Amino acid sequence: MKRTFEVFVVLMIIGGLVYSAGAQEQPEPPKPAPETKVGSEQAEMPEVVVLGPKIKVENPTHDFGKMGPGSKNKCEFRFKNVGDDVLKISKVTKTCGCTVPQLSKNEYEPGESGTVKVTYSASKRAGAVSKHLYIQSNDKSNPKTTLTIKGEVENKIGIEPKNLKLTLKDENAGCPPITITSLDKKPFSIKKIQSTGNCIVAKFDASEEAEKFVLEPEVSIAKIKKNPQGRIDIDLTHPSTNRVTVSYNLLSRFKVDPPKIIVFNAEPNKPTKKEVWVLNNYGEDFEIESASSEKGIIKILSQEKVDGRYKFELEITPPETKDLRKIFTDELTVRVKDGEKLRVTCRGFYSRKLDTGQAEK
């Protein structure tokens, strides 16, 4: 019996030790999640988690879908204070070019909702759009809540051609008809047509409404010679596109190739050789009267006529400078016998290897 008792005691001790050791190795059983209670019961709770103000946006992304270029699009973001303290919104910032009217109030009680109203003016260029707004508040876990607006700007009006390549050789400068089409089938009228220097005009009936117009432009040769590059703006009554633009370029009589002389990695007094060609775009024979440099940085080494074109061999000698970060410029003027003057600008950038004053490095 005594032995039985001793064995029992030993087992109890071992059991106690094992339990004790086991208890040490076991993770603590999870504590019940603390509850936040109101009223008199709250004082009895050992732990209280304070949420503070907490903003929750119902749907932080708004997809406008297809938008017309330059169209105004509206949406709303609803938010709620799901915390337990007053939510204070300091401001709504944006990188979207949106209109966000001032919020009617800046403080929201727990459980209270509010709305951010957004008007987004779509870009005039077609393509996907994704922009952000930020609600700045005293929600410590999310002080800058992001709102996203997205969509796709889609051209509702098609215009062909978008660029006119005109020549002096062809009748009416070779100007093709311009076709304007409503891609969403909504009829429209033409309100106004204006072109650079009034070089190009086209008849239209402002009272006529249709899904498609084909304009027959008329080119004034005298005017376009003075404005060889420009554009035609066509104002429309289409609900989502109020203007379309066609650019034009008149093929000049002479072409200088390359049209500009650019020298990178230049070194003072270290000459560089360049070739410049002058040719007549219309295949006319021509003579060059003179060629000269404005500042003497460009030196004409030779000038010869090859297959109806003129070839100039030039030597560009970058001038001395105290500041190698500055550029040097010169201009070569070529006079054609009938009086036309062609200007070829020369620009040079000094080599950065020579520039010891790279303060930012």
Partner 1 sequence: MCVLGCCFALFSCSAATMAEPGRQGGAQSFPVSQPKDTNDSITIFITGNELGAMKPCGCSGGQLGGLDRRKAIFNNAGQMNRLIIDTGSLVETDSPQDLIKFNIIVQALGLLDYDLASLSERDSEIAESLGMWDQISSLVNVISAYGSGASGRQKSFTKNLPFKDGTIAVTVAALNTEDMPAGEISELFELQDDYKAVNLLIVDDCDSDIISSVAEMGIVDCLICPSDNDEPEVIDDSQEGFLVFSVGQLGKYVSRLQISEVEGELTYDFSAIPVTEDLPQADSLIQLYKSYQQIVKEENLLEQYPRFVLPDGLEYAGSESCRICHWYECDKWGTKAHAGAYATLEKVGSQYDPECVICHVVGMDYQSGFVSEQETPDLKNVGCENCHGPGSEHNITFGEALTTEPKSSCVDCHTPDHSAEYAGNEEVYLEKIVHWRQNESTDTPAAEN
The reply to whether 355 sits near partner 1 by the rule CB under 8 A is yes
Q: Is residue 34 a contact residue for partner 1 (CB under 8 A)?
A: no
> What's the rounded Cα separation, in Å, for the pair 128 and 107?
35
Residue 128 binds partner 1, judged by CB under 8 A: yes
**Tell me, what amino acid is at 202?**
A
The nearest distance, CB 292 to partner 1, in angstroms, is: 17
Which of 15, 16, 65, 101 is the binder for partner 1 (CB under 8 A)?
A: 101
144 vs 212, beta carbon nearer partner 1? 144
Residue 324 Cα to chain centre, angstroms: 33
Position 192, amino acid: K
Determine how many CB atoms are found less than 10 A away from the CB of residue 244.
20
Between CA 123 and CA 170 the distance in angstroms is: 38
| Listed ranges 124-132, 166-174, 178-186, 238-246: which one lies at the site for partner 1 (CB under 8 A) | 124-132
Helix (H) or strand (E) run with residue 118 in it: strand 113-121
Q: Is 264 near partner 1 (CB under 8 A)?
A: yes
Does residue 233 interact with partner 1 by CB under 8 A? Answer: yes
Interacting stretch for partner 1, rule CB under 8 A, among 35-43, 202-210, 333-341, 349-357?
Answer: 349-357
Q: Is 227 helix (H, G, I), strand (E, B) or coil?
A: coil
Q: Distance (Å, rounded) from C-alpha 134 to C-alpha 240?
A: 28
The answer to whether 195 contacts partner 1 (rule: CB under 8 A) is yes
Helix (H) or strand (E) holding 4: helix 2-25
Q: Alpha-carbon distance 166 to 221, whole Å?
A: 10
**Counting contacts by CB under 8 A, is residue 38 touching partner 1?**
no
Q: Is 127 in the site for partner 1 (CB under 8 A)?
A: yes
Answer yes or no whether residue 76 interacts with partner 1 by CB under 8 A.
Answer: no
3-class DSSP state for residue 179? strand
Which residues bind to partner 1, rule: CB under 8 A?
93-102, 119, 121, 123, 125-132, 134, 144-146, 148, 153, 194-198, 227, 229-231, 233, 257-260, 262-265, 323, 325-327, 329, 345, 347, 349, 352, 355, 357-360
